């Protein structure tokens, strides 16, 4: 069974966050969103907006195009 785009996105956020040694709280603070929002994204519970994709990828130190490169 193939993964949904929300599952792929959430897994990628978690992977990148962990590689950078960030907690959900630290990533949320950098992105200007609530900590629970990051958790919901990582668990594929939230359909994220383009604006928040930009905030999160910037907070991870990535360009949007680089983030989605291996999708």
CATH of the domain at 24: 1.10.260.40
Number of folded domains in the chain?
A: 1
Give me the pLDDT at residue 70, please: 82
Q: How confident is the model at residue 43 (pLDDT cuts 50, 70, 90)?
A: very high
Handedness of CA 59, 62, 63, 64 (dihedral sign): negative
Q: Is 59 exposed, middle or buried (0-12, 13-18, 19+ CB in 10 A)?
A: buried
Is residue 67 assigned to a domain? Answer: no
What span, in angstroms and rounded, lies between the C-alpha atoms of 27 and 50? 17
pLDDT in tens, 2-23: 899 999 999 999 999 999 999 9
The mean per-residue pLDDT over the stretch 61-67 comes to 96
Is residue 68 assigned to a domain? Answer: no
Is residue 69 assigned to a domain? Answer: no
Structural domain of residue 53, as residue ranges? Answer: 5-61
Is residue 71 assigned to a domain? Answer: no
Closest to 68 measured CA to CA, from 45, 44, 43, 50:
50
Is residue 66 assigned to a domain? Answer: no
């Amino acid at each position: 069974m193939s993964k949904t785009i929300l599952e792929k996105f959430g897994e990628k956020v978690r992977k990148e966050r962990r590689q950078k040694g960030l907690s959900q709280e630290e990533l949320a603070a950098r992105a200007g969103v609530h900590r629970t929002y990051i958790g919901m994204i990582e668990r594929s519970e939230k359909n994220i907006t383009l604006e928040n994709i930009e905030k999160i990828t910037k907070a991870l130190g990535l360009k949007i195009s680089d983030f989605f490169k291996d999708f």
